[in-house]
Structure 1
């Protein structure tokens, strides 16, 4: 289906929804009522909650353009649901704001370095769509401090972002190792970095991916090292409101499509050719050539072609934003495909 046809169908859908504004119902209320997919279609725009500024994941330049791993995931969702990766509004949120914004319907989906935990999944009425990035908490210290392990930080002052799993993990680590340290909490990751630079603390702890991004902001990044210790599991992934089985399916299978496309070798460059000539049955089902998987999700059958044409597969998104040729220079590690020794794995398209 052409882009113009998609646009016309979407415009028609808005009309069929009864002129929501005219009858006093806004799309935020629709979303809160458990109709997020309909709200997105009616609005013609995906509201995606992201970090306000984290190198490699979500950052905005002086011209207002957003880039990063998380923002590319947002674009993939917009392309899959609406047919156009540009039909997305990035909503920058602090750690303290993110869950309230999601619960209140101010955003449709949260893609903002948020760890999947029992309390958030079960206790806060949210659903995690999957794991987009396998992370873990670590420590950054000045290289000249002479520390080689987190167990050597006894007596140190530690900067940490409050109201996060990071602060809870730090408390557990301190108790488990009987450390005598001073913990200084900050409201945002940037505030914590500023405190670290100002000498208010000796050590800064956060997710390793965040530390790698924050270190690039320092005047002499090479003067600071990330310790080898990893003290937690931090599975980061998209979050939606609980109780929306259809939107949860969409949220999961968009992510799985990005992962599976890399495994199958379907890329931004060859996806159109693959959609016309692929012989592998699983690729054909994923791309909408055979069967009607997209329709079962409430999307176009070729939703995967739209999103992969816009953003590329998982590996391409990782490479340009986080990989070794990017500013962060991260290795794939646990975020490699299962066939390459990593943990990335999509259920089968069958």
Structure 2
């Protein structure tokens, strides 16, 4: 199998939560990953290197934020750590590369990163002519708008209410396309301002140069928590998002060995959540598995991890070191007001969409 170097930059290069790149990472890097040769897999490259190189935003609140000490925290960052734990047995064996919306797909195409876990929407164009493959959705999102209540907006506002507004958005993203199409469908005219980075969008909401900011709802919630001025109220609307934004890991096409590893790392966290396997009880569950599926996933009789090129205890390392899906979600997203209950990110057994195929 040969990976070709796709030199062209990608159009439609962002998701609706496309936060611009931050300032480096843990360690945010300019390292270029060796391109996989014929017959190889990114999995082999990562194992031989002893480190996962993971592309993230670096400035997406609660998903991948660069902290003052240079570390990267958040939901997406923890899924990078989960992959590192599965492949290398060490959740900290990961190098983060902060990427802007316009940089991210080229970084995957050229081998600068092994995987992109950067609030990126799965779309038809990206899954075909852009040359990406997508792993399981880790967060179901949708695009909304955020504006100042003092300007007459409320949570009940709709697209019809934004006629004449200055709408600020990341350039070259599905966010830009979605709001343009939604305004046209509603018969309203907007003044669209685009920015390569995300911070100027919200700075504009603060200084008044932007009437409205738009991205995925999760991104707006995070920015509201972190940046809403004390003397203002920012409101998010409409209540029903204007788009579907399934977010998850992204990697180069036609590397099924690497795809299997990433996909089943995510599925393992979901199954562990479904069955109550946590970082706290993983040792007990490994010693006394409640059923055959958990026994296999934790490396016991009938395990399938070694057939994937991993150690038998790969997914044990994931849950022990990083946690199950609910643990990853709750510690990163609950603090900014994002909860699973009643959302599409709830367990399938509770009315949500989070569901994994059987591990057998």
Whether these two folds match at TM > 0.5 is yes
Whole-Å separation in 2 of the counterparts to 1:172 and 1:32: 42
CA positional deviation for 1:315: 0.2
TM-score, normalised with respect to structure 2: 0.86
Max Rg structure: 1
| Deviations, residues 41-89 of structure 1 (Å, cap 9, x unaligned) | 1110000000021210111221122210011000000000000001000
Preserved CA contact (<8 Å) 1:46 1:88: yes
CA positional deviation for 1:120: 0.2
Unaligned runs of at least 5 residues, structure 1: 1-25
Whole-Å separation in 2 of the counterparts to 1:229 and 1:200: 26
State the partner residue of 2:54. Answer: 48
CA positional deviation for 1:279: 3.0
Secondary structure of 2:69 counterpart: coil
Preserved CA contact (<8 Å) 1:116 1:234: yes
**1:331 counterpart = 2:339:** yes
State the partner residue of 1:219. Answer: 229
CA positional deviation for 1:161: 0.9
State the partner residue of 1:71. Answer: 77
Alignment of 1:27-106 (within 5 A): 28-30=34-36, 35-106=41-112
CA RMSD of aligned residues (A): 1.5
Alignment of 1:7-18 (within 5 A): none
> Which is helix-richer, 1 or 2?
1
CA positional deviation for 1:122: 1.1
Whole-Å separation in 2 of the counterparts to 1:42 and 1:110: 19
Secondary structure of 2:126 counterpart: helix
> Which of the residues 239, 244, 248 maps onto 2:255?
244
State the partner residue of 1:320. Answer: 331
Preserved CA contact (<8 Å) 1:34 1:243: no
CA positional deviation for 1:149: 1.5
Alignment of 1:1-350 (within 5 A): 28-30=34-36, 35-147=41-153, 148-150=156-158, 151-215=160-224, 216-220=226-230, 223-227=233-237, 228-323=239-334, 326=335, 328-332=336-340, 333-350=343-360
Preserved CA contact (<8 Å) 1:156 1:202: yes
| Deviations, residues 180-222 of structure 1 (Å, cap 9, x unaligned) | 1111111122221122222112111111111111222233386
CA positional deviation for 1:248: 0.7
CA positional deviation for 1:156: 1.1
TM-score, normalised with respect to structure 1: 0.89
Q: 1:96 to 1:31 in 2, by over 3 A?
A: farther
Whole-Å separation in 2 of the counterparts to 1:123 and 1:285: 37
State the partner residue of 1:8. Answer: none
